Amino acid sequence: MRPLALALALALLLLLAPSAAQARQPAFSWERVPRFWHAGNASGPLNATLVEFVAHKGWAMATLEKMQAQGASPRSQHAEAKIVAAAQQLKAASPTLPVIFYLNSVMDWPQYDLHVELTKQPTLWLADDDGEPIYIHKPDCVPFNSSSCRVHVFDHAQPKMRELFLGVLRRAKASGAIDGCFLDRGNTNATAGAGGAHGWKLSAARKAAWDAGHMQILQSAGQLFADGVVLGNNADFPGVNGRMIESAFSDFKLGWGGLLDDVALLQHEATVGTFLEVHGESRQGLGPPAPPGTDSEACTPAVFNITLAAFLIGAGERAYYACTKGWTAQAGWDQWHHEYSLPLGAPDSLAKHTVANSAATGLPLQSFRRSFEHARVELDVAGTGANTSVTACVCWNAGWITGPDQPCKARCVDTA
């Protein structure tokens, strides 16, 4: 039997196991920039280099995405077992690393065995008030109206659907290699039309029933992994101990117009005490790409500079950082920034925040300053909305500067 087939067979057997494995929660330390890892290797199992990189580079947790080994035989099948097989690879290298299982809370991705089950019970997919199936379009898939670019939606108003969904998570945990789950689209709300639910043709009663069922599966996952971590995407949920900010500080269209809101969100989350993943993401049109092979190829230097500085200004304990341009392992999750190796140390206080008008432009200028044991951060945000401009400097006591030479060299000159 080939190695991948053997691994999948073992994973499938473990997914059927009835044991209630103990999960692990992410550790936190200010010693270095606290970081998380979240990706999938679409072509096949994790190779030895990637296993070493994920297991021994100090990531607080590792989430295995929906595309893990999707291109390996059997192609686009058995996502659950392929994720568990990759988790076993990581656990063999680092038993204490918390490994997280990806499952979309709304979209029925066809590579999952859950989808195969639902093809046998199609009434468990959500249909509108006219009986027509409701779909969500796959991100970045073309052509837009192609049937291959859309996926069904789970009808969480139905108890049987909720039970099938939670069964996937129970079996993943029972494998002993999974410590939590990442519930994508957790912020979807049919009543408010948020999180991808815009345009659903449902009565008010059906919207309320779907929302209640969706919340129930989020909270049930929180109970299942109370000893581990559940990450709801882009929102907090009662009974769920973690979340992600998926595109922190930049919304791709308005430049850095969302930066102040996200800094405030980080500061709020620090008071809540949830596990918080903060994902900086490179924007299109932000200058030329970095040369091939450089550390910042998948996260341009400007984006890394600003998102790291903003993270350090707002972060509290249990907040973790990453910057990439997507969710495959090759989108930046296999790359290393020098700053990740530098001593950071605990902050001496919350960030100091001042508001004034810029003498040069007359626009509102908000300044943040925060000192750590081994670094100092300065973040200036001028203007609002599409006109926002940002100056960010991280001055490391080790002599390294994160940020543009001007003005950061002058600002960092007094850092010992």
pLDDT single digits (tens) 51-82: 999 999 999 999 999 999 999 999 999 999 99
> CB–CB of 367/354 below 8 Å?
yes
Residue 156 confidence class, pLDDT cut points 50, 70, 90 = very high
pLDDT at 332: 92
Q: Say yes or no to pLDDT of 224 above 50.
A: yes
Q: Say yes or no to pLDDT of 20 above 70.
A: no
Torsion, Cα 74 79 83 85, to 10 degrees, reads -40
Residue 414 confidence class, pLDDT cut points 50, 70, 90 = low
Give the model confidence (pLDDT) of 321-348 as tens digits: 999 988 999 999 999 999 999 999 999 9
Q: Say yes or no to pLDDT of 174 above 50.
A: yes
Give the model confidence (pLDDT) of 370-391 as tens digits: 999 999 999 999 887 777 889 9
pLDDT at 293: 41
pLDDT at 291: 44
Phi-psi region of 202 (alpha: psi -120 to 50; beta: other; left: phi over 0): beta
pLDDT at 5: 56
Tokens of 53: 């990189």
Give the orientation angle of helix 48-55 with respect to helix 79-93, to 10 degrees: 70
- One-letter amino acid for residue 273 of the chain: G
pLDDT at 12: 52
Task: Map residue 391 onto helix, strand or coil.
Answer: strand
User: Between 44 and 7, where is the model more confident?
Assistant: 44
How far apart are alpha carbons 379 and 43 in whole angstroms?
A: 40
- Tell me what percent of the residues of the chain surpass a pLDDT of 70: 89
Q: What angle do CA 98, 102, 105 make, to 5 degrees?
A: 130
- Tell me what percent of the residues of the chain surpass a pLDDT of 90: 76
Give the model confidence (pLDDT) of 231-244 as tens digits: 999 999 999 999 99
Q: Say yes or no to pLDDT of 107 above 90.
A: yes
User: Between 142 and 43, where is the model more confident?
Assistant: 43
- Mean pLDDT on 186-197: 85
pLDDT at 287: 42
Residue 4 confidence class, pLDDT cut points 50, 70, 90 = low
- Mean pLDDT on 26-39: 98
pLDDT at 101: 98
Q: Say yes or no to pLDDT of 7 above 70.
A: no
Phi-psi region of 135 (alpha: psi -120 to 50; beta: other; left: phi over 0): beta
Task: Map residue 208 onto helix, strand or coil.
Answer: helix
Give the model confidence (pLDDT) of 264-298 as tens digits: 999 999 999 999 999 998 755 444 444 444 444 57
Kindly report which listed range (37-41, 61-65, 162-166, 329-333) carries the lowest average pLDDT score: 329-333
pLDDT at 296: 43
Q: What angle do CA 373, 376, 378 make, to 5 degrees?
A: 155
Tell me which residue of 7, 203, 185, 206 sits closest to 88, measured CA to CA: 7
Mean pLDDT over all residues of the chain? 90
pTM greater than 0.85 (yes/no): yes
Q: Say yes or no to pLDDT of 148 above 70.
A: yes
Q: Which CATH architecture has domain 3-245?
A: Alpha-Beta Barrel (3.20)
pLDDT at 295: 40
- Mean pLDDT on 198-213: 93
pLDDT at 253: 54
